[in-house]
Amino acid sequence: MNQGSQSSKPLAGVRVLDLTQFLSGPYATMILGDLGAEVIKVEPPQGDATRTIPPNFVGEESAYYLSINRNKRSIVIDLKKPQGRELVLKLAKASDIVIENNRPGVIDRLGLGYSELSRANPAIVWASISGFGQDGPYRDYPAYDMIVQALSGGMSLTGEPGRPAVRAGIPIGDLAAGMYAIIGILAALHESKATGRGKRIDVAMLDCQVAMLCYQAAYYLVSGKVPRPQGREHDSFATYRTFEAGDGVSVVVCANTEKMWQDMARILGLGELVDDARFRTNADRHEHRSALVPLMDAAFLKRPAQEWILDFRKAGIPVGVVNTLDRALADPHVLHRNMVVNMTDEAGH
């Protein structure tokens, strides 16, 4: 699939040799293609494994495959055969970027590792995405998205307290690794264009997830307290959470300043709480959230979601409903921003 003319885009003239399958690597190369790069996707004789992932298909192609492989040209090469190896080396000589997401050592055993390709093309930017990186005690272990979500500690923060940990609803382990790979690739490409020397980029999915712990990791390192599952709350703000409105629709309110709290209390008909010593500051509300939350929950049940949303927006308080995916993809703002577009593939689908 092609998303239109590439010639005016920032990566026009850049060629990417894509040796990846499944999600993290194809997602990264798709974004590079969106930015104008020419992406040559190398597939094994049986095709990319995601071409046949059920349950949804467009023609004979899996919706999974189509979702992460636009703006690419595919070529079938058997990397295990000498002629396949020679063809990849030839393509690498004429490419700016190579990206692969095999387990460490696999691509080297095929004679197509960084040392071989950089000899053929010293300016090549080489990116490897793997579960645990090119070194370390977990180097050779297999991993997928849910494994790194679990090992990173992030999964322990997801779900309700007292219930089993749950994975994020989107594959953040794969997607984050793909995005971090893009950042490294673009930085290395910038340097390569200036110096004529390439770089090897080692992206570990687990590293990316640990990096995304952000302030949660800082909280633990400073306090020594292990964060609990977040559920529908924020661990720093009692007024930053999900509520159920009177019509059963879930509403998210993010009132994280003193003014927002005061306006929120007024809108909810709880204006007297502003002067309550238990709730005067954010620290007070955090300490006494077990008393505050039931009062807010009860207030939200008195009116339907859209009435609350109108009032909160008038007050400048961030608010929104919890959309199902069908509603999100039909949202007028999402459509206005061209986040859902109609495309036609080579088969006319």
Exposure string of 199-220, with b = 16+ CB inside 10 Å and e = fewer, is bbbbbbbbbbbbeebeebbebe
pLDDT at 345: 78
Q: What angle do CA 39, 40, 45 make, to 5 degrees?
A: 145
Same domain assignment for residues 137 and 282: no
Domain boundary among 211, 231, 250: 211
Same domain assignment for residues 259 and 325: yes
Same domain assignment for residues 203 and 305: no
Same domain assignment for residues 247 and 203: no
Same domain assignment for residues 155 and 19: yes
pLDDT at 4: 55
CATH number of residue 311's parent domain = 3.30.1540.10
- Which residue is associated with the tokens 């999964």? 155
Give a yes or no: residue 27 inside a domain.
yes
- At 215-242, the pLDDT tens digits run 999 999 999 999 999 999 998 999 999 9
Same domain assignment for residues 66 and 172: yes
- Which residue is associated with the tokens 């040796």? 19
CATH number of residue 131's parent domain = 3.40.50.10540
Same domain assignment for residues 178 and 248: no
- At 50-100, the pLDDT tens digits run 999 999 999 999 999 999 999 999 999 999 999 999 999 999 999 999 999
Calpha distance 300→32 (Å, rounded): 45
* 98 CA to centre of own chain: 21
Region of 36 (left: φ > 0; alpha: ψ -120 to 50; beta: rest) is left
Give a yes or no: residue 341 inside a domain.
no
Same domain assignment for residues 269 and 177: no
Token pair, residue 297, equals 């929950």
CB 258, CB 281: distance < 8 Å? yes
Domain boundary among 192, 211, 230: 211
Give a yes or no: residue 70 inside a domain.
yes
Same domain assignment for residues 42 and 121: yes
Give a yes or no: residue 342 inside a domain.
no
Calpha distance 138→152 (Å, rounded): 13
Give a yes or no: residue 234 inside a domain.
no
Q: Which residues of the chain have pLDDT under 70?
A: 1-6
CB 321, CB 251: distance < 8 Å? yes
Give a yes or no: residue 8 inside a domain.
no
Q: Catalytic positions, please?
A: 174
Please give the tally of structural domains in the chain. Answer: 2
pTM confidence score: 0.93
pLDDT at 3: 53
Give a yes or no: residue 220 inside a domain.
no
Same domain assignment for residues 259 and 148: no
- Domain of residue 192, residue span: 15-211
Same domain assignment for residues 58 and 193: yes
Calpha distance 287→329 (Å, rounded): 38
Give a yes or no: residue 227 inside a domain.
no
Q: In Å, what is the CA distance from 58 to each residue of 62, 63, 67, 87, 211? A: 6, 6, 11, 31, 36
